[in-house]
Amino acid sequence: MILAIDVGNTNITLGVFQISEGAAGKSRKIAATFRITTKIPRTSDEYGIMMREMLSFEGIDPKEIQGVIIASVVPNVMHSLNSAIIKYFKLTPLIVGPGIKTGIRIDTPNPKEIGPDRIVDVVAAYEMYGGPVLVIDFGTATTYDLVTRDGRFTVGITAPGIRISAKALWEDTAKLPEIEIVKPKSILAQDTISSMQAGLMYGQIGQTEYIIRQVRKETGYDDLKVVATGGLGRLISDETKEIKEYDPDLTLTGLAILYDKNR
């Protein structure tokens, strides 16, 4: 079994993959997933005990974990997390970063600027769906990343995520309340809460559709595949025909793919 860990700004997401070989080649099946809040400082012992307990809760013996891979956009978490893997799993984790084999050519002026989470997403999307493919990750930020037909990561677009926009509304205005992020029944809002919900949700849908159409127009990729992931990705993908596939486990799957490529 492989433990894949995605350290994001909001959550640390963990996935356990059962890897098997068959006549059709290698298959990866997610046996369990977990989430830990990123913003709470933890020691290596806290991370280690927590991860072992979560695995045991799902009936997975921590000794079954044969490899660990981590992608992180939060550097100050890594010392404790890395130490926890070494101490509690007796394994040295593979860290997604410069020098790792991806099978994707990062064709941008400064490849080192590209976040490891984005690299993992495009690796998974290209492997699973082929190119050209546009990967949209609805996370803390909303990112749009393009992989060409021949496997080059050429374009990355970054916008504020829905939660960032929502937080700005209720923190920077005196009279607007904190709200649940859901799509209201109509854009024709008549009260404060539905007014905010309408602006956030329909605004995100409109932004998403416009960026997809503009990428398709400027690249000339009429056969562009659009794959979405991220916590709020389901809400948006259900509301637009521009997104053809929603895969909540895209990042974890990408980590499992990268582990195989670098063993």
Q: Which residues are catalytic?
A: 117
Sequence letter at residue 219: T
* DSSP code string of 149-197: TTSEEEEEEEEE-HHHHHHHHHHHSSSPPP------S-SS--SHHHHHH
Under 8 Å between Cβ of 132 and 219: yes
Which residues, at least 6 apart from 247, have a Cβ–Cβ distance to it below 8 Å? 124, 128, 227, 228, 229, 253
* DSSP code string of 3-62: EEEEE-SSEEEEEEEEEEEETTEEEEEEEEEEEEESSS---HHHHHHHHHHHHHHTT--G
- Residue 263: count other Cβ atoms within 10 Å of its Cβ: 11
Under 8 Å between Cβ of 182 and 162: no
